[in-house]
Amino acid sequence: MTSIAQAFAGKKALITYLAAGDPDLETTAFLLKLLDREGVDLLEVGIPFSDPLADGPVIQQAGQRALSGGATLKKILALLKTLAPEISAPRVLMGYMNSLIAYGLEAFADDSAAAGVSGVIVPDLPFHQSEELASLLKERDMDFILMVTPNTTDKRLKAIAEKASGFLYCVSTLGVTGDSANAGTPLKEYTDRVRSITSLPLALGFGVNSPEKARLAAEAADGVVVGSALISLLEPCGTNLECLEKKAVPFLRSLQPSLQPGSGLVK
């Protein structure tokens, strides 16, 4: 398996987000293998939760479909463990603290490591209250990935960067996932400020839904996260694997040239 550091090495990383279990776990397994085959550099796997705080309507609805279909954290980790020999891209779990507490933090860390998970993102866990989880992950060679926003102060940025590992997830707007309407600070100005404080790779997410937006994000950051746009594209297919492939492959291939040097904006 490629490490998170290798996913960012010498290139702009394409990162995709899927809600695990949407619409069922078998379809998720198919999609994760498809994304890996198509050259996605890092696979972000969402743990569905009933009351997500950072997710917009598209991912909220995906999470609800997954929960209705019976997805649980235990089943998701079992699926990732089964898939581990078949997927080379690193897998990162993204979920909310209630799910992890209900599972048990040490058990979660143990089972995530056994499933080949490379890192964990917990949007609702304040970094100054994250020592226990961060330590459990570090002991098992998993990265603790933290988020920053355009209005994060320099002092707080420094504190977050000191605790984070793997990469920093730079939320590009002040809205929720899939929201590109609340853009404020220019992306390059934002990421330049973050780079002045940390040497960790930076991934930009929230609102990337086209090759042009991917180019703009790649000019500013080391990785580009695509979530809501991919889920919206695939949702009408349901469990039709042929439809999913016909929708996903052209979309991914339309984004990848935007992340290459010489695409017009990427340096």
List the catalytic residues.
44, 55
Provide the 10 A C-beta neighbour count for residue 173.
Answer: 20
Task: Tell me how far apart the alpha carbons of residues 163 and 7 are, in angstroms, rounded to a whole number.
Answer: 20
CA dist 45 and 42 (Å) reads 10
Distance separating alpha carbons of residues 120 and 132, to the nearest angstrom: 13
- Contact between 112 and 77 (Cβ < 8 Å): yes
Given a contact cutoff of 8 angstroms between Cβ atoms, the answer to whether 173 and 182 are in contact is yes
CA dihedral 76, 35, 8, 258 (to 10 degrees): -140
DSSP assignments along 202-262, one per residue: EEEESS--SHHHHHHHHHHSSEEEE-HHHHHHHGGGTT-HHHHHHHHHHHHHHHGGGGSTT
Alpha carbons 127 and 160: distance in angstroms, whole number: 6
Q: Report residue 175: phi and psi, to 5°.
A: -100, -150
Report d(CA 47, CA 256) in Å as an integer: 26
- Work out the number of other CB atoms within 10 angstroms of the CB of residue 224: 27
Place of tokens 């235990």: 74
Helix (H) or strand (E) run with residue 121 in it = strand 117-121
